[in-house]
Chains A and B, each alone.
Chain A
Amino acid sequence: MPKSLIEIAGLSKRFEVPGRGAHLALTDIDLSVREGEFVSLLGPSGCGKSTLLYMVGGFVAPSSGEIRVSGKPVREPGPDRGPVFQEFALFPWKTVLQNVMYGLTVQKVPAQEAKQRAEALLRKVGLADYAGFYPKQLSGGMRQRVAIARTLAYEPRILLMDEPFGALDAHTRTTLQNELLDIWERDRKTVLFVTHGVDEAVYLSDRVVVMSGSPGRVLRVADIDLPRPRVRTQLLTDPRYQQYVLELEALLDHARAPETTE
């Protein structure tokens, strides 16, 4: 059994809402993620799954409990955990190439080497011809490819993906899911992937963490025992895939229930 890379124990997050006291966003979160594992956080909106991801990233501080990455407690963001956000969060004043090079420049990689590595990554995501473009000149799908390349450039051990394909149309989303799986098959980085799409979670993940809302808790952790490399067209007709999707949909309905009766 490989040692776990991310260990989350007794984690909770409380937000102070001015005038309305405290809001408990997450409580009693225990989770461990092994090196090279692809884990999705699945839940209804408002269940705190993104907050959980931000805490692993060190962008948001937990109220209690602890997160350890490679055995060390998380105190701040670091290049071992690379985020990819739904809003892309590219630097709009930098070109595509400069965006991808930026992390390397910050880490004082020599300019020539940084440029070569960035260009190789742009080829990998199919954007070699767009190196000199500014983000505003690109479509949503292209922007997200740049954002993924920018994060991959500084070689984080863990990818933290916050509904990365949530703002894209269905066709582009499918394409990017496949590209992400291709990239992942090659270097098997540890991925923590936030989504509210059941089929996306099942298609991509080794394990799916189903969360319920207000306050956010882990409802169940489901192993997705499907062969890799996964091919979408084969999966769609696979009864096991359909079974996972059905089960998780039911769980999600259950997770949403307290919200609707409130």
Chain B
Amino acid sequence: MKQGPPRFSALRQVWRRNWRTVLACAALLLIWQAAALWLKREELPSAWETLRDVPVILSSGEDVLGILASLRRMALGFGLGLLVAVPLGLAMGRSKPLARLLNPLTALAYPIPKAALMPIIMLWLGIGDLSKVLVIFMGVSLPLLYHSSQGAEQVDDKLIWSAQAMGMGQVARLLRVILPAALPEVMLGCRVAVSIALITMISSEMIARQNGAGNLLFNAMDMAIYTDVYAVILIIAVIGVVLDVLMERLRVALTHWADTLQPGSTS
């Protein structure tokens, strides 16, 4: 076979790896388009109209600032979760008394939709960033806590003993032995946490409407501009996919040394 210029062969490679994804998305858009044309209802704008609306929204400074504010809150909540839940989870995985103390609490907290706490939090902290960051933080903390403690529990005692014999202290062992050894599992938790962060971010903004992607969505809904509603949902979905892909890349990059790399899947 003849080799094309390098730029095209690179393109061909991308195509060869992703044609199924492209095809699936195209099929979905086609079905959407056909359904919209057939039903002719205001509540279901066509795929084409919606796609055309996306750049319009993204060129509005106010809307983009709102979405960026959402992402900033999400990053803050997620970061806070990493700082608090991961070390705590690792400690729970290595200390049975601590796990026995905290497990009932996390079991109680698991089934509660974190956004359901939003009204109470708003009573205390208002409808600003603080409340929303706190809710996102609570949302991401549970999967991070769970996966970190699972990961830490599975760390071979002998790895820790080897570090102990070298003279490594307790805190250093947690950060320099247990954290890296548990990292493949912690990263799985991070991936779950990213999607939960996105969900809690949107729900918190739908409840405490001030700005952000969730607010954008409901404003459009209130004004019955349905193309905007669908376009915002599309933007949120793309943000979600991009964050997930980035997280998966990060996971592979950080745990390339592991014996078995789990294929990309949420647990």
Q: Which residues of A contact B (CB under 8 A)?
A: 54, 57-59, 76-79, 81-83, 85, 87, 89, 91-94, 102-103, 106-107, 134-136, 150-151, 154, 156
- A89-B180 in contact (CB<8A): no
Whether B183 contacts A93 by the Cβ 8 Å rule is yes
B residues 142-196 touching A (CB-CB < 8 Å):
156-159, 161-168, 172, 177, 180-181, 183
Is B259's CB within 8 Å of the partner chain A?
Answer: yes
**A92 & B259 in contact (Cβ 8 Å cutoff):** yes
Seen from chain B, the residues whose Cβ lies within 8 Å of a Cβ on chain A are 156-159, 161-168, 172, 177, 180-181, 183, 255, 257-259
A106, B166: Cα distance in complex, Å: 7
Let me know if A79 and B165 touch, CB within 8 A.
yes
A contact residues around B165 at 8 Å (CB):
57, 77-79, 81-83, 103, 151, 156
Give CA–CA (A93, B259) in the complex, Å.
10
Q: Which residues of chain B come closer than 8 Å to A76, judged between CB atoms?
A: 164
Docked pose: A151 CA to B166 CA in angstroms:
8
Asked whether A106 and B161 contact (CB < 8 A) given A92-B257, A93-B180, A136-B257, the answer is no
B166, A103: Cβ atoms closer than 8 Å: yes
How long is the Cα–Cα vector from A57 to B258 in the complex, in angstroms?
28
Q: Which residues of A contact B258 (CB under 8 A)?
A: 92-93, 136
A59–B164 CB distance below 8 A: yes
Name the distance in Å between A29's Cβ and chain B's nearest Cβ: 20
Cβ contacts under 8 Å, A82 to chain B: 165
Q: Report the bound CA distance from A93 to B176 in whole Å.
A: 10
Q: Give Cα A57 to B259, complex, Å.
A: 28
Q: Are B259 and A136 in contact, CB atoms less than 8 angstroms apart?
A: yes
Contact, CB under 8 Å: A89 / B166: no
* Chain A residues whose CB sits within 8 angstroms of the CB of B166 once the complex forms: 79, 102-103, 106-107, 154
